[in-house]
Amino acid sequence: MPTPVVGQESRLRDPRRVDAGADPFADALRAAIRAKGLSLERIQHKLRARGVAVSIAALSYWQSGRRRPERPDSLTAVSHLEEILEVGEGGLSTLLGPPRPRGKARPRPPAQGPEGWVGDNCHSSIAELLADVDTSTDQDLTRLSLRDQVELAMDGSTRRVRSRQVLRAERSGVDRVLLGYDTRLPGDPLPVIGTLRSCRLGRVSADPRNGLMVAELLFDRPLRRGERTAVEYELIHVAPHHPTFDNTHSRRFRHPVREYVLEVRYDSRCRPSRCEQFTTGLTGGEPTDVREAPVDTWGYAYAVALDFGPGVVGLRWEW
């Protein structure tokens, strides 16, 4: 969930389409969900009615290709999905192929990295992106405050995200903060960085195919120990806007934060029927601390977390 960026990729094909053959199971599942017109929340409800528990995060990862159902209970869920989505017996399960490698052969994430990374299957890609930027000072910053302001279009897609971070240096010489961004659906177009305040854009490394990027925001000068700074940036999603395909917006924190505020503004012509705040651990799983987040008269919903992290904070809604 969310953060900043670097470039705009020009596409003539459907921007959400993964290269042919990349993951037949994910492609088929995504197509079946769209054909039925069901939200992930509705699919989860139908599975629960059959006695099958699957988190919305897991369904999201399966359809994006970031993770694959391999455990016995996950494979059972797939058989029920075939019935719910009416794709015929074996319409999904036969596309899974052999299990992906695990254990020591599997790349591990770097010991220090930016907040915002998801998907265990992308660790190797993340490692390559981080190799192109300076990660040496990111862990020496305390996140005092962070605010994300998200503006949605009438179709539920994201127009822009404005962010403000207040940081404190825990040693002298810290001169940058790292920002990560994940579209959560490989092949989605990446946003571009807009207005910057009290910082400038440094090196940027992007993996458009997996929808990932990492960037440096450079301070005006190196900070002294205990010194505070506030940086602001804006992510602009040019047409076609980034789709909130699972009706959520979230931020992942690899470092603790004193205060986090997420503000989502809905178009006046398209308000959700229900909205709630949720938190999860970095590895996903069932949401915890779920609470109602009503949309006010002006079309805003809020999530607030104090002394939080590591973990994920977000808002999710139903149309």
Return the number of other C-beta atoms located less than 10 Å from residue 235's C-beta.
Answer: 24
Residues 142 and 268 in one domain: yes
- In the DSSP assignment, the letter for residue 189 is P
- In the DSSP assignment, the letter for residue 197 is B
Coil, strand, or helix at residue 244? coil
Is 109 inside any structural domain?
A: no
Residue 243 has what pLDDT?
55
Q: What angle do CA 221, 1, 161 make, to 5 degrees?
A: 65
Domain at 37, CATH number: 1.10.260
CA distance 4 to 318: 26
- In the DSSP assignment, the letter for residue 61 is H
Angle between helix axes 56-64 and 24-36 (nearest 10 degrees) is 120
Residues 196 and 310 in one domain: yes
Residue ranges making up the domain that contains 199: 116-318
Residues 65 and 204 in one domain: no
Residues 176 and 76 in one domain: no
Per-residue pLDDT of the chain (319 residues; tens, 9 = 90+): 333 333 322 222 233 333 434 578 888 898 899 888 888 888 888 888 888 888 777 787 788 776 778 777 788 888 899 999 998 888 898 888 665 554 443 333 333 333 344 444 445 577 778 788 888 888 899 999 999 999 988 877 888 899 999 999 999 999 999 888 887 666 677 888 887 899 999 998 888 887 788 889 999 999 999 999 999 999 988 766 655 556 888 888 888 899 999 999 988 888 888 899 999 887 767 788 889 989 898 989 999 999 998 888 999 888 8
pTM over 0.85: no
Structure tokens at 130: 């981080």
C-alpha dihedral (37, 43, 49, 51), degrees to nearest 10: 150
Residues 127 and 158 in one domain: yes
Is 102 inside any structural domain?
A: no
Residues 186-209, buried b or exposed e (16+ Cβ, 10 A)? Answer: bbbbbbebeeeeebebbebbbbbe
CA distance 158 to 311: 23
Residue 102 has what pLDDT?
47
Cα→Cα distances 64→26, 85, 228, 310, Å: 6, 17, 39, 24
